[in-house]
Amino acid sequence: MFRTGPHGGTVDKNAHTVFVLTRFHHHLKRRDIYAEADGDPL
Protein backbone atom coordinates (compact mmCIF):
# COMPACT_ATOMS: atom_id res chain seq x y z
CA MET A 1 0.00 0.00 0.00
CA PHE A 2 3.02 2.27 0.42
CA ARG A 3 5.34 3.44 -2.32
CA THR A 4 8.41 5.60 -2.36
CA GLY A 5 7.77 9.12 -3.57
CA PRO A 6 9.79 12.32 -3.88
CA HIS A 7 9.04 13.20 -0.23
CA GLY A 8 9.56 9.74 1.26
CA GLY A 9 6.89 7.07 1.61
CA THR A 10 3.43 7.87 0.31
CA VAL A 11 0.17 5.94 0.36
CA ASP A 12 -1.09 4.39 -2.87
CA LYS A 13 -4.63 5.81 -2.91
CA ASN A 14 -6.03 3.04 -5.13
CA ALA A 15 -4.63 0.31 -2.88
CA HIS A 16 -5.92 2.11 0.21
CA THR A 17 -9.40 2.42 -1.30
CA VAL A 18 -9.51 -1.30 -2.12
CA PHE A 19 -8.30 -2.13 1.41
CA VAL A 20 -10.97 0.04 3.07
CA LEU A 21 -13.77 -1.33 0.87
CA THR A 22 -12.62 -4.91 1.48
CA ARG A 23 -12.65 -4.41 5.26
CA PHE A 24 -16.03 -2.61 5.06
CA HIS A 25 -17.49 -5.53 3.08
CA HIS A 26 -16.05 -8.03 5.59
CA HIS A 27 -17.66 -6.22 8.52
CA LEU A 28 -20.98 -5.88 6.70
CA LYS A 29 -21.04 -9.65 6.18
CA ARG A 30 -20.33 -10.20 9.90
CA ARG A 31 -23.01 -7.62 10.73
CA ASP A 32 -20.52 -5.55 12.71
CA ILE A 33 -21.75 -2.51 10.74
CA TYR A 34 -25.45 -1.80 10.42
CA ALA A 35 -27.92 1.03 10.05
CA GLU A 36 -30.62 1.54 12.65
CA ALA A 37 -34.10 2.59 11.63
CA ASP A 38 -34.73 6.26 12.28
CA GLY A 39 -38.47 5.77 12.96
CA ASP A 40 -39.47 7.97 9.98
CA PRO A 41 -41.35 5.74 7.50
CA LEU A 42 -41.56 7.00 3.96
pLDDT of 9 strictly over 80: no
- Binning pLDDT at 50, 70 and 90, where does residue 15 land? confident
CA atoms within 13 A on the CB side of 42: 1
pLDDT at 8 (0 to 100): 63
Q: CB neighbours (10 Å) of residue 19?
A: 13
φ, ψ for residue 13, nearest 5 deg: -60, -40
Which pLDDT score, from 0 to 100, does residue 32 have?
A: 81
Arithmetic mean of pLDDT, 9-37: 85
